[in-house]
Amino acid sequence: MIKVKNLVKTFGEFTAVNDVTFEVRQGEIFAFLGPNGAGKTTTIKMLTTLMRPTSGTVELDGLDPQRKQREARRRFGIVFQDPSLESELTAFENMEIHGVLYHVPRKLRIERTEQLLRMFELWERRNEPVKRFSGGMKRRLEIARGFLHTPKILFLDEPTLGLDPQSRNQLWTHVKRLNETEGVTVFLTTHYMDEADRVAQRIAIIDHGKIVAQGSPAELKEQTKSDSLEQAFLALTGSTIRDEAASSTDQMRQFVKMWRR
């Protein structure tokens, strides 16, 4: 379903993604793990038409996402690391906008919106503006929205960041269920190793832009002779802390939080 070959992305001198090759099979839940700044989000951006690779090839369901941008976009859904909802509008309206942008026929759009909002326990509050939702509810809405146009692949970039264990648990239960019932391929990143261990069939670990290990959770544990995936992860990527300088975007986010509402 996803084929990545010798993918490279450089920003000036810095190589963010360095000759990455992997494959994700149809219907699989695939976890892409790595420390901060390892190249996860850059890879996702290249997979989802948002960034042009410096070199190498990407294939999504047989399509080159750069050449057949629009066809490729119809085939996947994405939940970004940071929120991407229109918070002044209601949950239902957010689903509506998404459905229209993805050309879902009206009748189907309404049916699926109800089905997904019920499943993610948001149906009762569908007519409330999103700005009144809690962090967990917003995340659920974004994931429900990602499923609306029945994508073949769903990208989840750290979807459980900042959620409590209850919400995280429930979220993965739903994602797993939709993976089973609709056969959607899931490509996820997370920093919670227990989640990856629980939901993913296969895992790739990236560090400094290179894939350092690939396989099922059991295989990775065996390879590193660890009891848990977390230990395996630390064995593969070392235990030094990666400091990411706060980007100007983060600073701006703080500024806006101060002045708006």
User: Can you give the binding site for another protein, defined by CB under 8 A?
Assistant: 48-51, 69-71, 73-74, 78, 80, 82-89, 93, 96-98, 100-103, 129, 248-249, 251-253, 255-256, 259
* Nearest distance from C-beta of residue 125 to another protein, angstroms: 17
Residue whose CB is less far from another protein, 43 or 237:
43
Residue whose CB is less far from another protein, 25 or 253:
253
Residue whose CB is less far from another protein, 131 or 177:
131
Residue whose CB is less far from another protein, 6 or 251:
251
Residue whose CB is less far from another protein, 86 or 230:
86
Query: Which tokens is 5 given?
Result: 């070959």
* Nearest distance from C-beta of residue 27 to another protein, angstroms: 22
* Nearest distance from C-beta of residue 127 to another protein, angstroms: 12
Task: Count CB atoms within 10 A of the CB of residue 147.
Answer: 21
Rounded Cα distance between 197 and 213, Å, is 15
* Nearest distance from C-beta of residue 223 to another protein, angstroms: 35
**Residue 136 burial (10 A CB sphere; 0-12, 13-18, 19+):** middle
Residue ranges in the chain assigned as alpha helix (H) = 40-47, 69-75, 91-101, 106-119, 135-147, 165-182, 193-199, 217-224, 229-237, 248-259
Residue 207 CB contacts under 8 Å (≥ 6 apart), including other chains: 34, 35, 38, 236, 237, 238
Rounded Cα distance between 95 and 30, Å, is 26
* Nearest distance from C-beta of residue 141 to another protein, angstroms: 12
- At residue 74, what is the residue type? R
Rounded Cα distance between 160 and 191, Å, is 9
Residue whose CB is less far from another protein, 50 or 161:
50
* Nearest distance from C-beta of residue 170 to another protein, angstroms: 23
* Nearest distance from C-beta of residue 248 to another protein, angstroms: 6
Rounded Cα distance between 116 and 46, Å, is 28
**Residue 215 burial (10 A CB sphere; 0-12, 13-18, 19+):** middle
Residue whose CB is less far from another protein, 138 or 221:
138
